[in-house]
Structures are given as structure tokens and as C-alpha cells.
Structure 1
Amino acid sequence: MSHAQPVLEHLFEQIRNSHSMAILADARGMVLQTYGDADFLSRAEQVALSPGASWHEFERGTNAIGTALAERVPVNVFGSEHFFEGNAFLTCSASPILDPHGRLMGVLDISSDYRAFQRHSLGLVKMSSRIIEKRLFEAEFAHQGLLSFHSRPDHVGSLCEALLAITPDGDLLGADQVALELLGMRREDLPRRHYGMLFDVPLGTLVDRARRDPLSLIALSGRNGERFYARLRGNFAAMPVASTGLTDVRGKALKAAVEAPAAPTPAPVSVSAGASMDKSRLTLQSLATGDERL
């Protein structure tokens, strides 16, 4: 409710004075809150389109709220397409709201007199439900690293961006629907995937870039050759370097599968106070970090 309330209010501002109402319902189809034009609200109450009423398909037949929940996709239901004839004066557009783990949380709906239907209504509820889903995702993983990315750089930072929640070790905690689609993954694949399996740029490089220039984008290549542009944000960027796993970009779970011996850890080079380092001691070996690709 706390994330949806301001979005619902803003949605109603876009349709005010159009003989319409904006509706928020829960995952069972029960109406939680409505905003609408006074003349239309009175008609809606006659068919129980008001807080506390259930619009689940089992009870109301085909209707935008119940059908969007059943199909898990945005839907329009025009006039006589409603199962009950008494609801035929309505035309409704609804879009489901998913939580950060892909579970149904509810639905946003615009209902209006069928004679006042606006073609952009479905687009408005889809955009508004996306805003709520994005707010829920960012709140759920507020204490983790959030990787925003897209194949188009101008989409990063917009509603179109993909979101991944990752740990300092590169484990994947969550992915929104856009990220799953861009990466060609299923939600159940997340526990078996790691940051290093998806992108070519080490996680430590992203952390370093986020510290130096939080607003900059960095180009990444996916494992299938896709080109992405990304930005790391959240508390992750402020964590100590030691916790980012800079020398283990593939993750702990993959270490056991690597048969090649790890590069030896170089002995620390001591420098006396006030004295400059002897350049002859700077060798390739002294620059080794344990990353075999470097």
C-alpha cells in the first residue's frame, strides 16, 4: 500500500474528469482503494466496484481485475465482454503487479463508462504497475548492490531498465522481469547463476567505477555476445574493496570447478618511509592479483 498509494493517486490525476476511476486490488481480486470522478463512483458502487468487494473471476466472471490476475498479463475488457450483463456499462483496463520474486501482489485497474473508453488506458496501468514493481524491487534489495542495465544506454535509469540484485560475492539475489527477458533466463535459474557467468567485466571493476563516478555507464558484453550498458548503485558501491571479491569474479561456487592452479600470491613489497620504490622490484609477478585473465 505504501508503494502503491502515490502511484494510484498520480494515475487518477491522468484520467480525472473522464467518467473513470482508478482501482487497486490485492492478489485475490479484492478492491483495496479507489479514486474516481464523483459521477462515475456512484454508478460503480451500484455494481460493488468499491473497497471490500471481490472481483475474482470465481465470483464476477470475466472482468479486467480478475482476468488480469488469472492470466498474469495486462488485459482490456470491453462492455459486453463482461460476464455479467449488469457490468456491461463498464470498460476496464488492468495490469497485474508482481513482487520482486515474481509472485502476484495485486492489480491496477482503470474502469470507465464504455462510451468514455480511452485507448491509452491500458498503457497507463501498465506503466503505473511497472513503477510499483520497480519501487518494490528497490526496497526489497535496498541493502544490496543493484545493477541497472539495458541494451540501449538511454534506457538505463528509466522505467525500461533491467534490474539485478547481487551480493558482494556476485551471487544473484533477484532479477526483475526485464532482466530475465534480456538475459534469456527463467526465475528458477537465479540460484544456479552468478554475475561472472553473465557478464565479461569483473564485478570489482563495476564497484570501482561506481565509487569514482556513480552516474557513469559501463559497457558490458553478455556471454552470448549481447551488448549492454550498466550502472551499479545502492549500498554495494560503498562496501570495502576486500568484500567485493575482486580476485574471484566467477564466484565461490565455481572455484571448485576450476582445475588450473591459482596464481601465487605475490610477497608484499615493503617501502621504507620517505624512500622511493626500487623500479627493479616491479615485475609482472609483483603485479599478479590472482586473476588468471589479467
Structure 2
Amino acid sequence: MEDYTSNIKNSWEQFVYNDIIDETIRKDILESWIRCKKYGVSPMGGKGKNKNNDIKALIERNLELINVAKSVMESIYKIVEGSGFAIILSDKEGYILEVIGDKDIMERVNELNFLRGELWSEEAVGTNAIGTALYLNKPMQTIGAEHFGSDQHSWTCSASPIYDEDRNVIGCINMAGNYYDAHSHTLGIVTSAAESIQKQLALSNSYNLLNITFNSISDGMIVIDSFSSIKRINGRAMEILGLTLEETINLDIKNFITNIDFKSLLKETGKEIHNRECDLKGKNKNIKCIISVVPMKSNNKNIGIVITFKEIKYVHKLVSKLAGFKASYTFDDIVTRNDKMISMIKFAEKVAKSDCNVLIEGESGTGKELIAQSLHNGSKRKNGPFVAVNCASIPRELVESELFGYEKGAFTGATKEGHAGKFEIADGGTIFLDEIGELPLDMQSKLLRVLDNGKIVRVGGTFEKQLDVRVIGATNRILKKEVLNKNFRSDLYYRLSVMNIKTLPLRERKEDIELLVNHFTQSLSIKSGENLKQISSDYIEILKNNYWDGNVRELRNVVERDYYLSEDNILNSYQIEELKKTEDLEVETVYENNEVLSMEILEKREIQKAIEKTNGNMVKVAKLLNIGRATLYRKIKKYNIVYKN
């Protein structure tokens, strides 16, 4: 070693003082010396250059590398402790990040400025293991006078670049000691150390990625071991259960999920649970969730279980979106210039901001659902579901299960998983019970209980579910009269009509007819892609003179029909006159020998005619007559009408 260092020293002196190149010098060293002369590096120097004033930022920028490399550096130091070597870590530019070594070598390290924040690139201090290894992008050993700066001639250094997963250089690890202790094994040690750091960095990145993924999942997630103790839990799970991380340590999963046998799941291979409704015992309450349980396997043996779950109310919210349970209209969509209507809208806007139950009363076609949707969109529940239910369209025997849901096996034909009712789907939002006056009396009492305590029980179930639902009811009946006639419960009426909104029939707001016709024709023009048709003044006058039993709905239908029947660019009175002739003809047929028939006979005839026209399809009959199915069946029974299904 002395002969080698002596020869190198002579070659270094010839190069530095006389520009004589010794071809026996290692190619990497010789090329580095040539570069150093071009850089203008002083051969009489060789100490680290303090070119980084913000050491704190340097450390923070390379914190992950330091944390991983430090344990490897400490492991190497334990092997070489007492041998006069220091272990040094730099970043990708050559700035020193960490140094570990014996006391005596650390004193020499300090003299040479092998300190945090000092720069050890070739350009700064000349040929050295760190700077040259980073420049050449490969492991490098420098011995004695191979260093360009004379201050380093008593040193031997072995360095290896450190790479990330994409093979980008991120740092360098170096072993530095007395030149007479130089050995090729030191280069092998730092190369192995660099590879170890790279692997641990890759593992750390994978672990961090898994952690980020684990905690970014919108579902609650828990990992338990074979003893049912919690090993991992994400933030969403702790949020749902109302627990802190400390409270979950060594907690037995059976303490808050009681209706799943985890012991048998761990024993049986291949058994999994998916999308099961389950009650989780949170810190202060029971939480209804949808849960999935999947065992983890190793060597064909279950070693633990992964549990994922979400609150059922979020499932219902998603179902509401997919099923179209959404309110589209706002108060701005109500077309009017009528003073009473404007006052009603202002009142309704105030009602929307409260959370009270609302009863909307008015004739068919006066926009009760439009008001209901506007109430929802004007409330704090606007981001929740809006579920509309036509009470008259549900067969009597299905009303309870439709509104409140049913458990599995509750009745013949019930699905295995059970079924959520409309109230559950509306949790966190609004349920609109249209034609609420058609509800059977027994259902009225059950609805009253829900309005009183906000809880529902599924058909066939025993567990009361606490819901957060605002109820808006609507009817075209006069419910006070129905209460007097014992067709509607008085307690339900007063509980429901905390806020009462009455819609106006079109005949009481005739000034809105022209406004509505313009609105409808503009919408039809956009829908059809045609130019906007002009409206004649006599057409508007004829419309204003009509009684409009069907109110705005009837007006819209007439305008739509006339729009598509108009052959020219002017919506005129021809079609409305034809309609009037047809209606007059129909009225004449109900008179026989100038004898006026009773309303009951007329009603019976119309029902029979509708049944005949629809071939006994009761849904179509009810729609044709503009009445609820429950009302239809009641009238069929009243008039003893015989029909074929």
C-alpha cells in the first residue's frame, strides 16, 4: 500500500506542477484530475465548502433518506467501530447530511469539514469518493494522493450512489478512514449498504402508499389478527365508531360487532361476507351499517380478517341519486305575477328554512310537488335525497312495507336481504307524501308515530331505526272535512300541518295564463329545436275564458298539443275551438231526452267508459280519470261496477 501511495503521490505532483500525465493512473482518477484543473480547484485545498446556508431546509428536503439510511449507517458502524472509519451520507448534489464515527476519526472529520451542510462535489473540493461517484454515477474508491486536494491525501474513501425506484440518484453513502487502512472490501460494504437503503426506501414508499390508500378509503376499514384484536384501523372507521386510536389498541372486535361469528370465519377457509346489514356499537350509539368481511390467507390458513363498512344512510343517499330521488325545482321556477301567489311563495321561502312538517293543500294540477321540491331545495337538506311517494298509487296491503321497508323473510316473496323503505332512503333529506289523504287509517296511526319520534320499524323487524327526515304532505282533498267525516285522523292532521301552504287554482290567477303560455312555448321550442312560435291574442283570450278544472297541468297539456298541431308559425285559436266542440259533444251525450243525470250516474258512466277503453288496466284507468287507485277501487265498490282484469 505504501508503494502504491508513494507512486500516486509522485504522479499527482507531476500532474499538478508540470501537467505531466502518468498513463498508469486509473482512468477515472486521471479524468477527474483533468476536470478539477478545468474547474479551477486548488490542489492545495480539499476541505468541504460551506455553500448551503439553510441546513434546516436541506435536512427537511432529505428527511426520508436520512431516516432510512441512518439505521443502515449505524449497522455498518457497529461492524467497523474502533477501526478508524467514519460513515458519511450526502444528498444527490454532494451536501453532507449525516456523519457517524469514532471520537478520534470525528475530530479529523471536523478538520476536513465533513460536516452537515458542507458541499463535497468534485467542482467544490476536487477528486473525492462522494463527488466523483456522483459525477460518474457509479461506486468509487479514492486512496491517498488520488484525491485532488492535498488535505485529503492521508484519507481513503469508498462511496456508492443511492437510487430511488426509478433509478434516479438521490444521495451517496461513504466510508472514510486512514489511507493505510484502505481495502477493496470497504467499497463492497458501501455498495451493499446503498442497495439496502434503496430496498428499505422502496418498502417505506410502499408502506406510505398503503397508509395513504388505507386512510383515503371512504369506507371504514379494520384489520384484525387471528385473536380478533385490532391491528389496523383507518380514520373513517374511527370517525364512524366515535373512537380514538388509543381506544382501539388491543380492542376486541366482538365488543362492537356482535352479530358476526369471527371465530368461525377464522377457522373456515373460503368463507366471506359481503354487503350485510349490521348494527355496530359505537361509543354512544348504535350505527346501522353495510359490512363486508374477508379473511386474509397465508399458506392456505386464515391469519386475520379485513372488515370494511359504511353507514347505511350514505348507501341510501347513493341509491337516491342513482334512482333519481332528487328535487329539480326551486322557487325561481314558479311562473307568476299574481299577488296572492307571490305572497304564498314568500311564506313558503320562510317555511323552507325551518325543519317543520308541511302540508300543501290545493286542487290537482296547481303545482304541489313543485312547491315541495322548492321547499327541499330552499332548506339545509338540499344536498340530501328528495323522495316523492304517491300514496294513492300504492296497493293497501303494500303501503307499510313500501314506506317503512321490511326485513328478510317478513312475508312470502320478501327478498333475502330485506328491503329499505322510502323513509330510510330519504334519511337526511325530505320525503314528499303526495295524495296523503288516500292513506288507510291504520297507516295514518303508524305515520303519526314516525312524526312524533322520528323512528321507524321495518315490517317483520323489532329494531327501531332513528331517522332524520322532513315530511311534506300534499292533498287535493279538504282534510278538515275528511277529519269530520272520520276519514282522516285529526291528530295526524295537526301534527302534519305545522306549516300549511295552500296553492291557488288557475281560475283565481288568470293574469298568469299568458305568462305560463309563453313559458311553455319557450320550453317546447328548446325541446323541439324549432323557432319560437308566435301566440295570437285571441288564443290567449280563449284560454282565459276557460274554467281549467285541471289547472296549470291542464293548461300545459293544451298548449303542448296546440303547439305541435300548429302548422304555421302562429299558435292560434283553431285547436282550442276544436277542443271546445269535442267537449260540447261529449257533454251532450250525457243527456237523454233533455233529462239531466245525477253526478253519481255520470261518475259511474265515466269509470265504466275508462275501464272499457283501457281493457281493465286499473293504473291507466286511475291516470285517465286523474284519481288515485285507492279512490278508484272505492268508487268501483260503491257503484257495484263489474269488470274483467
Which of structures 1 and 2 has the larger relative contact order (alpha carbons within 8 angstroms, sep 6+)?
Answer: 1
More helix by share: 2
Q: Which has the larger radius of gyration?
A: 2
